[in-house]
């Protein structure tokens, strides 16, 4: 087993996931990033991560697939023999934003499978492994962080499937925090607001206008590095007495105001 701590960031080659991966690499973790793209497609991102953490690797894996999840964890164990941090970041938006009266079961199933069921059962497998590691090494803190969204509580009637999937992740965080506390494994939720990424590129003009009109207290787009820095604090162990808590990074969007 290597001495350097190992962190898995699903969907870690772009967007918020990449921001998280870079921050953890700078903090001294060896990174495993996973996703649905080919190894060739993630070379630039992996090269940047390796500039800080040379042993980092990419493993193609779709969290929606049970076989891929098994392959992912077996590959990490074969390569490093340990896993200290799991960041459940991979997720998708609906292919079509549809009103609740028109939304399809196919879209609902796809969103729930990728955004909720996949991370839930990946966490289950990782938790079992982390408990084994904890029994052999009680001095190392292990952490699980779920990246959800303000859509866990803010209703968008043209993407109900997405909102429900993120609300499920919020409850999953509480469940796993309650279950794993006895094993000294911290579980947290980070809830981003409007973040500049490929997922939000298509609605850039809409949110530019809303931000200018006062939607946020901090009148700017959130950046992937904002989320990365927050995750870095959570996995550092500095907030060990806060397992199960939610860290909202939304520029003040959900703050109630008169």
Q: Name the residues annotated as catalytic.
A: 162
Classify each residue of 145-164 as buried b or exposed e, where b means 16 or more C-beta atoms within 10 Å of its C-beta: bbbbbbbbeeeeeebbbbbb
Helices (DSSP H) in the chain: which residue ranges?
15-26, 43-50, 66-80, 105-112, 118-136, 160-180, 204-212, 224-235
Asked if 231 and 18 touch (Cβ cutoff 8 Å), the reply is no
Strand-pairing partners, residue 70, are none
Half-sphere exposure (CA, 13 Å, Cβ side) for 253?
Answer: 22
Encoded tokens for 194:
């409007």
User: Residue 234 class from Cβ within 10 Å (0-12 exposed, 13-18 middle, 19+ buried)?
Assistant: buried
């Amino acid at each position: 087993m290597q001495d350097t701590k190992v962190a898995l960031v699903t969907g870690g080659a772009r967007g918020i996931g990449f921001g998280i991966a870079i921050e953890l690499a700078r903090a001294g973790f060896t990174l495993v990033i996973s996703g649905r793209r080919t190894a060739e497609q993630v070379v630039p991102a992996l090269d940047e991560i390796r500039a800080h953490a040379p042993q980092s690797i990419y493993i193609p894996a779709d969290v929606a697939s049970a076989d891929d999840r098994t392959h992912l964890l077996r590959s990490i164990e074969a390569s490093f023999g340990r896993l200290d941090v799991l960041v459940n970041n991979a997720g998708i938006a609906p292919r079509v934003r549809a009103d609740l009266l028109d939304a399809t079961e196919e879209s609902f199933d796809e969103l729930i499978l990728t955004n909720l069921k996949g991370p839930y059962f990946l966490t289950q497998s990782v938790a079992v492994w982390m408990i084994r590691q904890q029994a052999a090494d009680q001095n190392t803190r292990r952490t699980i962080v779920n990246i959800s969204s303000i859509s866990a509580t803010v209703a968008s009637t043209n993407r109900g499937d997405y909102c429900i999937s993120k609300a499920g992740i919020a409850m999953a965080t509480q469940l796993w925090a309650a279950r794993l506390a006895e094993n000294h494994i911290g579980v947290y939720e980070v809830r981003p607001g409007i973040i500049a990424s490929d997922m939000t590129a298509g609605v850039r003009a809409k949110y530019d206008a809303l931000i200018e009109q006062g939607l946020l207290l901090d009148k700017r787009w959130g950046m992937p590095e904002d989320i990365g820095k927050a995750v870095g604090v959570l996995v550092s162990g500095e907030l060990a007495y806060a397992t199960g808590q939610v860290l909202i990074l939304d520029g003040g969007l959900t703050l109630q105001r008169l």
